[in-house]
């Protein structure tokens, strides 16, 4: 691909120090102990399931509801933040940004530091949802449109994904630390860029470029060799966290904290770009970024340039994440060793169903995991696992009585009986439902502190262009016919392939990354050679994918082309049932779906395989 680097101009340098609630604790200190100077530090801590967890915490203690990890990280680095003049933007405010902002203010007061703290609020629309008589009054997205029977008592949280301009306004008003609630992940980067470059709401290409930069770095080390399907050479050395330099035209360069492991390459960046997306038309509250316009080029070792991104008007609605209390769940894991493992699994299922009787949970699944061979090098190699997962709206049916039913079989079931997990009580699970709400019905607010921890409200700046677009909808079923979406292999010209076929794993032809999108999953597939990409476009039809991955056969699958990235993106509707918190799948977030895909052995053209192996990137 053509090398297109950013223009020579002063960049805004933004580092990421968290990709999820639970990410590497020392990431912020790694920035300050390195030789890297940055303008902003951002941290992404939120996901749909995280919001449900925070809602449960806040239900028990109204002073909670934010991510305490961020506060602990900041305590260890706040002196360096002040000394170097680094600004901080985070979504760790979760459901209670006000409480976290006050905690940060108190920290600054104790240290005698004069830094201004702001927090953003107004994403919480649970009152609007509760005021409604039925969920059907809202625009429910995707496949959730039909047959919803949800009572308002079940709503744990309802939050609009806010955008970047409130962050920018908080910074414009002199804030040094901005605590955000539920904003889109990319907004943590877009907001500082809007503030720094004074972009307007109609600078769509620039905004789109910043959205892409934000999407690349939002998951921390995952764009720096973490979870990379082609592997990296720095074994035993954790990949670094990313740093992105953003330029006034929206282009950027991506690198990582100096002296850290991993790599930043076209491959690692491509995989992150494919993570948890649907259509190439990537919607955000402030702009629609067209991922099929992205151009990547390797400028030098561990530096990738991102340019060419096109943007268009944003949706006229906010996406809203609705988390419902769905009931309770539990699971048991039995170990099955040696001969007749399948028969032993059948015995356990029959014994458990008999023991549970009328108390059998509404949903009960039995899953045999691992090889069932009786021949191996040691005992563990001839042991498989039987996972029993259960869900019910009644806690008693999946609580101790469920666990005890298994324990009581210890002397009455199959030979070699033992459990891998101790008996435990049921845990509450969530159901995720995405909504769309008019921007006129959501009122983001900005609060900025003085140096005595008193917060004042700042009038939000509105713009006539912010709700001007009706052409883009959060509902992917109505995403427009301009998307390069295809499900028919006949749309690709047939080439002279297949004369000599050989066995190969798909991993020899491509990389992949997968993830969750509510109750759906995405599978992004990419390769490194133009001719191999054309081969994959023809080979990897929806029908082919469903043939090699049987669990997809009854599901609706969409395919999108991103030729600029030599990539295909598959969206699997309903694979994760009603979301990460609800599904009984072992791989609840579809993280390993891509590796499952790459492990499939198929017949491929020998010449194509040779090209793929010869041009494969080396760590």
pLDDT (tens digit per residue) in 47-66: 999 999 999 999 999 999 99
φ/ψ of 205, rounded to 5, equals -65, -45
Report pLDDT digits (tens) over 580-606.
999 999 999 999 999 999 999 999 999
Average pLDDT over every residue of 87-107: 97
Burial class of 5 by CB neighbour count within 10 A (0 to 12, 13 to 18, 19+) = middle
Q: What is the pLDDT of residues 288-346, one digit of tens each?
A: 999 999 999 999 999 999 999 999 999 999 999 999 899 999 999 999 999 999 999 99
Domain edge (last residue) among 309, 330, 346 = 309
As to burial, measured by CB atoms within 10 angstroms (0-12 exposed, 13-18 middle, 19+ buried), residue 120 is buried
Structure tokens at 130: 């509760």
Q: Give residue 329's pLDDT.
A: 96
- Domain annotation covers residue 215: yes
Name every residue whose Cβ is closer than 8 Å to that of residue 148 and which is 6 or more positions away in sequence: 135, 136, 140, 433
> Does residue 480 sit within a domain?
no
Is 399 a domain residue? no
Least confident range of 91-100, 226-235, 430-439, 567-576: 226-235
- 513 falls within a domain: yes
- Average pLDDT (392-409) is 95
* Max Cα-Cα span within the chain: 76
Residue entry with tokens 């943007």? 311
State the average pLDDT for the chain. Answer: 90
Phi/psi of residue 318, nearest 5 degrees: -95, 140
Average pLDDT over residues 493-516: 86
What residue numbers bound the domain in which 518 lies? 489-615
- In whole angstroms, give the CA distance from residue 369 to residue 383: 10
Q: Tokens for 339?
A: 């001969």
* pLDDT tens digits, 441-455: 899 999 999 867 789
- Considering its fold, how many domains does the chain have in total? 2
Average pLDDT over residues 85-91: 98
At which of 285, 309, 333 does a domain end?
309
Q: Is residue 188 part of a domain?
A: yes
Q: Does residue 408 sit in helix, strand or coil?
A: coil
pLDDT computed for residue 474 by the predictor: 57
Distance separating alpha carbons of residues 379 and 123, to the nearest angstrom: 53
**In degrees rounded to 5, what are phi and psi of residue 223?**
-95, 0
Q: Is residue 560 part of a domain?
A: yes
Q: What are phi and psi of 282, to 5 degrees?
A: -90, 110
Domain-located, residue 390: no
Measured CA distances, 421 to 365, 387, 586 (Å)? 17, 10, 15
User: Residue 505 in contact with residue 598, Cβ under 8 Å?
Assistant: yes
Quickly state the pLDDT bin for 477 (edges 50, 70, 90). Answer: very low
Instruction: Determine the pLDDT at residue 9.
Output: 55
Q: Which pLDDT band, with edges at 50, 70 and 90, does 155 fall under?
A: confident
What's residue 478's pLDDT? 37
Question: Can you spell out the DSSP letters for 69-136?
Answer: HHHHHHHHHHHHHHHHT-EEEE-TTTT-HHHHHHHHHHHHHHHT----EEEEE--B-HHHHHHSS-GG
Question: What average pLDDT does range 183-203 have in this prediction?
Answer: 98
Q: Examine the fold and report which residue of 258, 275, 309 is the final residue of a domain before the chain moves on.
A: 309
CA dist list (Å): 278 to 117, 138, 406:
35, 22, 41
Given pLDDT bands bounded at 50, 70 and 90, which one contains residue 141?
low
**Secondary structure (3-state) at 333:** strand
pLDDT tops 70 at residue 479: no
461 assigned to some structural domain: no
Higher pLDDT, 466 or 9: 9
> Could you tell me if 254 and 303 are in contact, meaning their C-beta atoms sit under 8 angstroms apart?
yes
């Amino acid at each position: 691909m053509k090398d297109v680097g950013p223009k020579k101009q002063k960049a805004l340098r933004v580092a990421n120090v968290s990709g999820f609630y639970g990410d590497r604790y020392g990431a912020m200190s790694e920035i300050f102990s390195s030789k890297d100077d940055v303008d902003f530090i951002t941290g992404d801590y939120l996901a749909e399931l995280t919001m449900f967890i925070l809602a449960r915490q806040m239900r028990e203690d109204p002073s909670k509801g934010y991510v305490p990890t961020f506060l602990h990280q900041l305590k260890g680095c706040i002196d360096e933040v002040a000394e170097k003049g680094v600004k901080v933007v985070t979504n760790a405010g979760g459901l209670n940004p006000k409480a976290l902002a006050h905690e940060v203010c108190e920290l600054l007061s104790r240290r005698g530091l004069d830094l201004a703290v702001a927090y953003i609020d107004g994403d919480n629309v649970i009152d609007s949802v509760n005021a409604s008589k039925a969920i059907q009054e809202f625009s429910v997205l995707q496949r959730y449109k039909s047959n919803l029977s949800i009572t308002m008592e079940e709503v744990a949280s309802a939050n609009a994904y806010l955008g970047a301009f409130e962050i920018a306004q908080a910074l414009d008003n002199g804030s040094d630390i901005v605590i955000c609630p539920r904003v889109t992940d990319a907004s943590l980067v877009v907001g500082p860029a809007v503030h720094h470059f004074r972009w307007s709401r109609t600078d769509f290409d620039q905004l789109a470029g910043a959205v892409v930069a934000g999407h690349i770095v939002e998951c921390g080390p995952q764009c720096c060799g973490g979870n990379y399907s082609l592997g990296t050479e720095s074994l035993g050395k954790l990949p670094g966290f990313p740093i992105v330099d953003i330029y006034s035209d929206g282009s950027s360069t991506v690198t990582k904290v100096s002296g850290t492991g991993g790599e930043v390459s076209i491959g690692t960046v491509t995989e992150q770009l494919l993570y948890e997306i649907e259509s190439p038309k990537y919607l955000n509250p402030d702009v629609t970024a067209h991922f099929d316009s992205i151009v990547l080029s390797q400028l030098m070792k561990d530096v990738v340039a991102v340019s060419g991104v096109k943007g268009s008007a944003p949706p006229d609605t906010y996406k809203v994440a609705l988390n419902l209390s769905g009931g309770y769940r539990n699971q048991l894991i039995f170990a099955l060793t040696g001969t007749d493992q399948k028969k032993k699994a059948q015995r356990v299922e029959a014994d458990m169903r008999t023991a549970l009787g009328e108390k059998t949970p509404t949903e009960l699944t039995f899953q045999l995991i691992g090889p069932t061979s009786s021949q191996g090098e040691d005992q563990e190699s001839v042991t498989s696992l039987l996972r029993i997962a259960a869900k019910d709206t009644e806690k008693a049916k999946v609580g101790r009585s469920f666990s005890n039913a298994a324990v009581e079989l210890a002397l009455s079931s199959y030979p070699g009986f033992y459990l891998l997990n101790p008996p435990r009580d049921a845990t509450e699970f969530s159901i995720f439902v995405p909504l769309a709400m008019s921007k006129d019905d959501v009122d983001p607010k900005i609060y900025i502190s003085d140096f005595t921890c008193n917060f004042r409200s700042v009038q939000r700046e509105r713009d006539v262009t912010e709700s001007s677009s009706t052409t883009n909808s959060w509902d992917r079923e109505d995403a427009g016919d301009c998307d390069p979406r295809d499900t028919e292999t006949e749309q690709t010209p047939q080439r002279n392939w297949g004369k000599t076929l050989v066995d190969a794993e798909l991993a020899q032809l491509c990389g992949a990354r997968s993830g969750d999108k509510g109750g759906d999953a995405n599978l992004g597939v990419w390769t490194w050679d133009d001719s191999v990409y054309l081969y994959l476009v023809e080979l990897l039809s929806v029908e082919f994918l469903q043939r090699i991955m049987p669990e997809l056969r009854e599901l609706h699958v969409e395919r999108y082309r991103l030729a600029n990235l030599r990539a295909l993106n598959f969206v699997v509707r309903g694979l994760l049932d009603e979301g990460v918190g609800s599904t009984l799948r072992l791989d609840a977030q579809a993280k390993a779906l891509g590796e499952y895909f790459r492990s499939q052995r198929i017949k491929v053209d020998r010449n194509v395989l040779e090209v793929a192996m010869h041009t494969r990137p080396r760590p």
